[in-house]
Chains A and B, each alone.
Chain A
Amino acid sequence: MDVFLNLLSGVQTAVSGGNLLFILIGAAVGTWVGMLPGIGPATAIAVLLPFTFGMDPTSALIMLSGIYFGAMYGGSIASIMLNIPGDASSVMSTLDGYPMAQKGRAGAALLLSAAASFVGGTLGLIGLTLIAEPVSRLAVKLGPSEYFMLMVFALAATASTVSGSAVRGFISLLIGLAIATIGIDLQSGSSRFTFGMPELADGAPLLAAIIGVYAVTEVMVTAENLVAGRWTAPQAIGKLWATKAEWMRVRFTLVRGAVIGFVVGLLPGAGGAVATLFAYSTEMRLSSRKEEFGKGAPEGLVAPEAANNASVSGALVPLLTLGIPGSSATAVLLGALMMYGIQPGPRLFTEQPVLTWGVIGGLYVANIVLLFLNVPLIGLWVRVLRVPAALMMTVIMVLAVTGAFSLSNSLFDVWLTLGFGAMGYLMRKAGIPITPMILGLVLSSTLEQSLRQSLSLSGSDWSVFVTRPVCLILLILTVLMILSPLLAARRKRRADTRPADDEVRPDV
């Protein structure tokens, strides 16, 4: 009951004294900024942080959290309409969201996405409200060994995003894994593939890659298609609303996606991208309509959307209960808190109840605000598809260059982005899928470093990966995931060879 009282007072804080206005502003601005290519929640918060100086810390945090949620909503819009994700956690939404929009189901896609974001956000917040404390104590039990197995599991899951040739999928994945090795090696301090440039010491920024292979490549491909006369406008917009059948299909997906998003989000070493990846591949493995994934299956859109909004609450769990950020966006929030003179730690809830419950209450409010903000605007977003392609692409390219520059105020990142654009174009032409590369980029560093951390700490003892319970569970899950297409094929063959009932059974 305590908790409900706290939550109520938090909501009260969130709607009083101008905070409601801040939530509105934060949510709206977050959505807009989140739509920009490569500007995800972390960048959105960082960019809008200076506006909060001089504000009361509680109000500032509430607004920043509103921006966080808003950016998650916004990133989906660009993924669905333009195939250009806002950041790594919106990447999975492009897989089914964009095809849906191209087939004339843009309205439905946006609606399902908004609903999924709302449900995911709500369920995640409930998790944050009720079980934050005990769950965070459990979460720290996961160490380098567990993270390694989690990354291995994630690698197996990336297979679910590939619908074509396995060889090309692997090439894409390997490219991503390899690019992420650029930089100063964490464990040894050795420079790898940096050519002596300090700009590369921290590696090729993930966002430069995303902006490059999605936005820049898209512009290049469209330029080519426009001139070749091959560019086709997306199919006429169908109904703006999703059908009952679609709603029925996704009713469990919403919950599954949210749970996965929350759980993965609360791990300090894994963020929105991994959460959406697991949500997507779980959905696909469980679905009886696997072949629709990647072509506009509603589950394929709903799962990552629910997951990434739930992961926001998940990422706030370790931040608010332990002072440890659960994602890159929460790391920015941590920095903001420290700038306001608040040192997050294990006692934040008891020392700063107004702040912590205010933020949580604020997120509930922001979630509702965003739903009411976004659904009516669906009609507007859908019209984006009618903007002449040449104009749209020009604007996107300017956005891409500006966005790339804003990453670290450096033109170097712009050049990297353009380089990634060229690479993405060649990959598309050669039929090499893009998604595994991005996933490889996301997973590589944690994969390699946690393996080495684990071996350093265990004294080169490889058995930890099977003796530690969580590692063993993850290992089994990985094997199951790798085998599942084979098992499914075997089941199918058995079903095909089994004679039809009415042939064998004699008439009675």
Chain B
Amino acid sequence: MTGRSLARRYLHLLTGAILVAVAVAYLWMAAQVRLPPLGDPLGPRLFPMVLAVALVAFSLVFLAATLLRPHKGDDAENMPAQARAWAALALAAGFALILPHAGFMISTAIFALAALELMRFRTLPVNALTAVVIAGIFHIVFRVWLGVPLPGPAFW
């Protein structure tokens, strides 16, 4: 098991490590849950703690299995592609951030343009037009027709 093959499996190892860490954190927090002086026989702590212990156990098994298993898959080669996935998420986060300030239509148009560019849809002008159309359609269907409250200032 070389360092290189470890790097190739980094995503599985990362996930396994995150799982273990989260499970331990969950266990710790579960132990802190306020126990009322009186109450039902099991109390609010038992169930989460049982789950936490099980989760810690299973994630350790998962991590161990990942470390010991013969290498399969090509995580490292895919890093640039994976970066796109995270970029897509980041764009969505940006969308959520500007929504309350720029209003629905504008934010949607900006986001849609960015997303289409990211996924290499068509040329920039075509993407921009598509983005505006998407924003418009959404606005009409959701705001005007369904009257669903949308984030952001009233009109846009």
Direct contact between the two chains A and B in their complex (CB within 8 A):
yes
Chain A residues within CB distance 8 Å of chain B: 33, 47-48, 50-51, 167-168, 170-171, 174-175, 177-178, 181, 185, 187-193, 216, 219-228, 230, 388-391, 393-395, 397-398, 400-402, 405-406, 409, 411, 414-415, 418, 421-422, 425-427, 429-432, 448, 451-453, 455-456, 460
**Cβ of B148 under 8 Å from chain A:** yes
Distance A351 CA – B112 CA, assembled complex (angstroms): 53
- Residues of B contacting A225 with CB < 8 Å? 81
- Residues of B contacting A422 with CB < 8 Å? 89
- Residues of A contacting B41 with CB < 8 Å? 452, 455-456, 460
- Residues of B contacting A188 with CB < 8 Å? 34-36, 39-40, 43-44
Known: A175-B55, A185-B44, A220-B86. A395 touches B134 (CB 8 A): yes
Chain A residue with Cβ nearest B48: A181
- Residues of B contacting A426 with CB < 8 Å? 11, 14-15, 18
**Cβ of B132 under 8 Å from chain A:** no
Contact check, B134 vs A398: say whether CB atoms are below 8 A apart: yes
Pick 18 A–B contacts, CB within 8 A, sort by A. Answer: A168-B62, A177-B51, A188-B35, A190-B36, A192-B44, A219-B88, A222-B119, A223-B84, A224-B84, A230-B81, A388-B121, A390-B116, A402-B142, A414-B96, A431-B12, A432-B15, A452-B40, A460-B41
Contact check, B18 vs A451: say whether CB atoms are below 8 A apart: no
- Residues of B contacting A456 with CB < 8 Å? 40-41
Contact among B34, B84, B86, B134 for A394, CB-based, below 8 A = B134
Contact check, A391 vs B116: say whether CB atoms are below 8 A apart: yes
Contact check, B95 vs A401: say whether CB atoms are below 8 A apart: yes
Known: A223-B85, A414-B96, A418-B93. A393 touches B142 (CB 8 A): no
Give 4 new A-B contacts, CB below 8 A, not counting A219-B92, A397-B88, A398-B138. A228-B81, A402-B142, A426-B11, A453-B40
Contact among B112, B119, B150 for A226, CB-based, below 8 A = B119
Within 8 A of A (CB), among B71-126: 75, 78, 80-82, 84-89, 91-93, 95-96, 99-100, 108, 111-112, 115-116, 118-121
Known: A178-B48, A388-B121, A394-B115. A227 touches B84 (CB 8 A): yes
Chain A residue with Cβ nearest B130: A391
Contact check, B89 vs A220: say whether CB atoms are below 8 A apart: yes
B36 to chain A, nearest CB (A): 5
Chain A residue with Cβ nearest B56: A174
A152 to chain B, nearest CB (A): 13
**Cβ of B1 under 8 Å from chain A:** no
Known: A171-B19, A426-B18, A427-B15. A181 touches B119 (CB 8 A): no
**Cβ of B70 under 8 Å from chain A:** no
Contact check, B85 vs A398: say whether CB atoms are below 8 A apart: no
Chain A residue with Cβ nearest B95: A401
- Residues of A contacting B118 with CB < 8 Å? 223
Contact check, A227 vs B40: say whether CB atoms are below 8 A apart: no
B86 to chain A, nearest CB (A): 7
- Residues of B contacting A170 with CB < 8 Å? 54, 58
The dominant DSSP class at the A interface is helix
A352 to chain B, nearest CB (A): 29
Distance A195 CA – B131 CA, assembled complex (angstroms): 38
Contact check, A223 vs B121: say whether CB atoms are below 8 A apart: no
Chain B residue with Cβ nearest A193: B29
- Residues of B contacting A189 with CB < 8 Å? 36
Contact check, B120 vs A226: say whether CB atoms are below 8 A apart: yes
A15 to chain B, nearest CB (A): 26
Contact check, A394 vs B119: say whether CB atoms are below 8 A apart: yes
- Residues of A contacting B33 with CB < 8 Å? 185, 190-192
Contact among A219, A220, A398, A452 for B108, CB-based, below 8 A = A398
Known: A190-B44, A418-B93, A429-B15. A228 touches B78 (CB 8 A): yes
**Cβ of B140 under 8 Å from chain A:** no
Known: A221-B85, A426-B15. A174 touches B58 (CB 8 A): yes
Contact check, A448 vs B47: say whether CB atoms are below 8 A apart: yes
Contact among A181, A220, A431, A432 for B51, CB-based, below 8 A = A181
Distance A391 CA – B120 CA, assembled complex (angstroms): 10
- Residues of B contacting A390 with CB < 8 Å? 115-116, 119-121
- Residues of B contacting A432 with CB < 8 Å? 15
Contact among B44, B47, B48, B115 for A393, CB-based, below 8 A = B115
- Residues of A contacting B47 with CB < 8 Å? 181, 448
Distance A170 CA – B146 CA, assembled complex (angstroms): 41
Contact check, B148 vs A47: say whether CB atoms are below 8 A apart: yes
Distance A188 CA – B54 CA, assembled complex (angstroms): 24
- Residues of B contacting A227 with CB < 8 Å? 80-81, 84, 119-120
Known: A188-B36, A418-B96, A455-B40. A167 touches B62 (CB 8 A): yes
Contact check, B112 vs A398: say whether CB atoms are below 8 A apart: yes
Contact check, A401 vs B34: say whether CB atoms are below 8 A apart: no
- Residues of B contacting A193 with CB < 8 Å? 26, 29-30, 48
**Cβ of B3 under 8 Å from chain A:** no
- Residues of A contacting B55 with CB < 8 Å? 171, 174-175, 178
Distance A178 CA – B88 CA, assembled complex (angstroms): 27
Distance A187 CA – B39 CA, assembled complex (angstroms): 8
**Cβ of B42 under 8 Å from chain A:** yes
Distance A221 CA – B78 CA, assembled complex (angstroms): 12
**B125-151 Cβ-contact flags toward A at 8 Å (1 or 0):** 000001100100010001000111111
Contact check, A192 vs B48: say whether CB atoms are below 8 A apart: yes
Known: A171-B19, A430-B15. A223 touches B119 (CB 8 A): yes
Distance A48 CA – B58 CA, assembled complex (angstroms): 44
Known: A178-B48, A224-B85, A452-B40. A415 touches B96 (CB 8 A): yes
